[in-house]
C-alpha cells in the first residue's frame, strides 16, 4: 500500500486495484446563522404542537358541521352544485382563524406546562436554575409565528374571503341561469311567466312536478304541466329555453276564449330573462376591508360617520388580536399550575374563560356605535394584560406561589357549602 500526500487531498491505492478516493484534509463544519435549538426548546415544541394543531383542526371541523346544512340548503335551493358548497365553506375558514389561533395557542401552552407540572418536571427545571421565562422561549417563538399568521389572515385573507362568500351567496340565489328559482313556491321568471315545481335534482339539473303559466301580450295564454323539465342555455345569455317532458298544455285564445288542450312528450318554451343586477363592489362593510383600506376609511370624509367609526374600531380590533398572541403564553404558564397535591384542571377552564371574554369584549367594542371604540378596545386589552402579568408575577417571583389560589379557595368554599347542604338534606329525609 502506498500513500501519496497532497496539499488538499490524499490518494490511497490498494494493491493492483483501480479503487481510489479523495478526502479533503480540512473538515468544513456547518455554520448556524442562529443559535442551535436547546433541548428544552425542542421538548416544549413537541409538547405544544400536538394540542395547538389539534385545536385548530377541531375548530374547523366544528365550523363545517355547524354551517354545512345551512350552506347546502342555500346552494341547492338556488340550483347550484355541490362544488359551490365546499367553496362557501372554504370562504368561511378565515373568519374562524381569528378565534381559533389564540385559543389554540393558549391550549397548547397550558397543556404543555400542565404536563410538566404533573410530572414534577417544572420543579426539576426550577432546581436547575431554569425559570418560567426561559421555559417560555419556544412558546413565545410559536406565538410570533401565530401572530404573523393572524395578521395575514385577519388583515388580508379574511376581507377577501368575506366578499367572495357574499358574492357566491348572491349568485346562488340567482341560479346558474340568472333566474332565482326555489322548489315548492311560485317563482316569477318574468313579468308574464310564472314557474313552480315540486323538487329539484342538483346532479341532473332537472325539475320534477313542473307547472308553468305564461301570459304573452300578443299570443294565447298558456298553462303547462309536465313530469319534468330543465333549463337549457343558448348563445344569448339572456335567452333561456325551458324544456318540458311528458306533459299537457292548455292554450286560451285571447279573442274567442276557446281552450285547446294538447299532450306532448317534449315542448320547448323560450324565456327572455331580464338583465340581473350586478353584485356590489367590495368595501361596503368594514369586514371586507384590508388593513390599509381600514386605515384610509377611518378618515375618509365621503363615508358615513358610522362606517368611519366601524372602520377605525375594526382596525384596532385586528391589531389587538395580533398583540394578544404575545400575552397568551404568560397567561398559559400561570394558569397551568395546579393546586398542591391536586390534579385539578380548573386553571385550564379559567384561562379559556378569560381569553373568550377578551375576544367577546373586542366584538362588543367594535359594534357599540354609541360609545367610542378606542377606550373599550384598548381598555379591555389593558385589563387582560394586567391580569395575565399579575398571575405570571406570582408564579415567577413567589416561591411555591399559586397564581389561582383565590379561585381554588373560592371553589373549595363553595364545594363545602354544597356538601353541607347535601348532608343536611339527607338527615332531613331520615
What's the 3-state SS for 365-394?
HHHCCCCCHHHHHHHHHHHHHHHHHHHHHH
Q: Which helix (H) or strand (E) holds 11?
A: strand 9-13
Q: What is the mean pLDDT of residues 328-349?
A: 86
Mean pLDDT is highest, among 9-18, 234-243, 257-266, 351-360, for 351-360
Q: Are strands 259-272 and 221-233 parallel, antiparallel or unpaired?
A: unpaired
pLDDT at 26: 39
pLDDT at 429: 57
Alpha helices in 256-304 (DSSP H): 291-297
C-alpha cell at 420: 353541607
Where does the pLDDT of residue 300 fall: very low under 50, low under 70, confident under 90, or very high at 90 and above? confident
Burial of 400 (0-12, 13-18, 19+ CB in 10 A): exposed
- Is pLDDT at 71 greater than 60 in this prediction? yes
Q: What is the mean pLDDT of residues 32-56?
A: 79
Distance of CA 68 to the CA centre of its chain: 13
pLDDT at 17: 38
pLDDT at 178: 63
Does residue 373 contact residue 365 with C-beta atoms inside 8 Å? yes
Instruction: Name the residue with cell 361596503.
Output: 284
pLDDT at 182: 73
Q: What is the mean pLDDT of residues 374-390?
A: 93
- Is pLDDT at 173 greater than 60 in this prediction? yes
pLDDT at 430: 55
Distance of CA 184 to the CA centre of its chain: 33
C-alpha cell at 311: 372602520
Contacts of 232-235 with CB under 8 Å at 24 or more apart are 232/268, 233/177
Please give the Cα distance from 188 to 231 (Å, whole number).
15
Q: pLDDT tens digits, residue range 244-278?
A: 999 998 888 777 778 888 888 998 888 877 776 67
Please give the Cα distance from 60 to 52 (Å, whole number).
13
The number of beta carbons lying within 10 Å of the beta carbon of residue 253 is 12
C-alpha cell at 139: 412558546
Please give the Cα distance from 267 to 310 (Å, whole number).
55
Where does the pLDDT of residue 104 fall: very low under 50, low under 70, confident under 90, or very high at 90 and above? very high
C-alpha cell at 357: 371574554
Q: What is the mean pLDDT of residues 83-88?
A: 76
**Which residue(s) pair with 24 in the sheet?**
9
For CA atoms 197, 203, 205, 206, the dihedral sign is negative
pLDDT at 102: 92
The number of beta carbons lying within 10 Å of the beta carbon of residue 30 is 5
Does residue 47 contact residue 115 with C-beta atoms inside 8 Å? yes
| 223 three-class SS | strand
| 266 three-class SS | strand
Q: How many CA atoms lie within 13 Å of 310's alpha carbon, on the beta-carbon side?
A: 14
**Radius of gyration for the alpha carbons in the chain, expressed in angstroms and rounded:** 34
As a whole number, the mean pLDDT across the chain is 80
pLDDT at 78: 56
Q: What is the mean pLDDT of residues 170-182?
A: 69
Please give the Cα distance from 98 to 101 (Å, whole number).
6
For CA atoms 278, 284, 290, 294, the dihedral sign is positive
Tell which phi-psi region holds residue 241, choosing left (phi > 0), alpha (psi between -120 and 50) or beta.
Answer: beta
Please give the Cα distance from 383 to 168 (Å, whole number).
40
Burial of 73 (0-12, 13-18, 19+ CB in 10 A): exposed
Where does the pLDDT of residue 8 fall: very low under 50, low under 70, confident under 90, or very high at 90 and above? very low
pLDDT at 317: 92
C-alpha cell at 3: 500513500
pLDDT at 74: 64
412 vs 78, higher pLDDT: 412
Find the helix packing angle between 158-174 and 82-118, rounded to 10°.
Answer: 150
Q: What is the mean pLDDT of residues 123-128?
A: 84
Lowest-confidence pick of 160-164, 334-338, 406-410:
406-410
Where does the pLDDT of residue 3 fall: very low under 50, low under 70, confident under 90, or very high at 90 and above? very low
Output the pTM of the full model. 0.72
Does residue 121 contact residue 130 with C-beta atoms inside 8 Å? no
In 3-state terms the chain splits into helix, strand, coil percentages (rounded to 5) of: 55, 15, 30
- Is pLDDT at 22 greater than 70 in this prediction? no
End-to-end CA gap in the chain: 102
Q: What is the mean pLDDT of residues 23-48?
A: 63
- Is pLDDT at 355 greater than 70 in this prediction? yes
Q: How many residues are present in the chain?
A: 430
Q: What is the mean pLDDT of residues 293-313?
A: 87
% the chain with pLDDT above 70 = 83
Where does the pLDDT of residue 427 fall: very low under 50, low under 70, confident under 90, or very high at 90 and above? low
110 vs 172, higher pLDDT: 110
Where does the pLDDT of residue 356 fall: very low under 50, low under 70, confident under 90, or very high at 90 and above? very high
- Is pLDDT at 15 greater than 50 in this prediction? no
Amino acid at each position: 500500500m502506498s500513500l501519496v500526500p497532497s496539499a488538499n487531498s490524499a490518494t490511497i491505492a490498494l494493491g493492483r486495484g483501480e479503487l481510489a478516493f479523495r478526502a479533503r484534509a480540512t473538515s468544513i463544519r456547518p455554520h448556524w446563522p442562529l443559535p442551535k435549538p436547546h433541548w428544552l426548546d425542542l421538548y416544549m415544541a413537541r409538547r405544544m404542537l400536538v394540542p395547538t394543531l389539534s385545536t385548530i383542526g377541531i375548530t374547523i371541523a366544528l365550523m363545517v358541521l355547524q354551517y354545512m346544512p345551512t350552506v347546502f340548503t342555500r346552494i341547492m335551493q338556488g340550483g347550484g352544485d355541490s362544488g359551490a358548497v365546499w367553496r362557501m365553506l372554504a370562504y368561511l375558514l378565515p373568519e374562524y382563524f381569528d378565534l381559533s389561533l389564540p385559543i389554540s395557542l393558549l391550549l397548547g401552552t397550558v397543556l404543555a406546562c400542565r404536563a410538566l407540572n404533573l410530572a414534577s418536571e417544572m420543579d426539576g427545571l426550577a432546581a436547575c436554575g431554569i425559570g418560567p421565562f426561559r421555559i417560555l422561549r419556544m412558546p413565545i417563538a410559536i406565538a410570533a409565528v401565530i401572530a404573523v399568521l393572524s395578521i395575514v389572515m385577519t388583515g388580508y385573507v379574511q376581507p377577501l374571503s368575506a366578499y367572495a362568500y357574499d358574492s357566491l351567496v348572491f349568485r346562488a340565489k340567482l341560479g346558474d341561469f340568472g333566474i332565482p328559482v326555489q322548489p315548492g313556491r311560485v317563482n316569477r321568471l318574468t313579468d308574464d311567466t310564472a314557474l313552480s315545481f315540486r323538487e329539484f335534482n342538483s346532479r341532473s339539473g332537472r325539475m320534477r312536478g313542473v307547472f308553468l303559466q305564461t301570459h304573452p301580450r300578443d299570443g294565447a295564454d298558456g298553462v303547462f304541466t309536465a313530469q319534468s323539465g330543465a333549463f337549457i342555455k343558448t348563445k344569448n345569455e339572456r335567452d333561456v329555453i325551458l324544456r318540458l317532458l311528458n306533459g299537457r298544455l292548455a292554450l286560451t285564445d285571447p279573442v274567442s276564449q276557446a281552450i285547446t288542450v294538447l299532450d306532448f312528450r317534449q315542448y320547448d318554451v323560450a324565456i327572455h330573462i331580464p338583465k340581473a343586477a350586478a353584485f356590489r363592489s367590495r368595501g361596503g362593510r368594514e369586514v371586507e376591508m384590508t388593513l390599509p383600506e381600514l386605515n384610509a376609511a377611518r378618515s375618509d370624509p365621503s363615508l358615513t360617520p358610522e362606517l368611519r367609526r366601524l372602520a377605525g374600531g375594526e382596525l384596532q380590533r385586528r391589531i389587538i388580536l395580533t398583540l394578544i398572541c404575545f400575552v397568551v403564553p404568560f397567561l398559559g404558564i400561570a394558569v397551568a399550575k395546579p393546586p398542591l397535591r391536586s390534579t385539578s384542571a380548573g386553571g385550564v377552564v379559567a384561562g379559556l374563560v378569560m381569553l373568550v371574554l377578551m375576544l367577546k369584549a373586542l366584538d362588543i367594542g367594535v359594534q357599540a356605535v354609541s360609545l367610542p371604540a378606542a377606550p373599550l378596545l384598548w381598555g379591555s386589552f389593558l385589563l387582560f394584560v394586567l391580569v395575565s402579568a399579575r398571575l405570571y408575577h406570582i408564579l415567577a417571583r413567589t416561591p411555591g406561589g399559586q397564581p389561582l389560589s383565590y379561585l381554588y379557595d373560592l371553589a373549595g368554599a363553595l364545594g363545602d357549602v354544597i356538601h353541607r347542604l347535601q348532608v343536611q338534606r339527607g338527615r332531613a329525609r331520615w
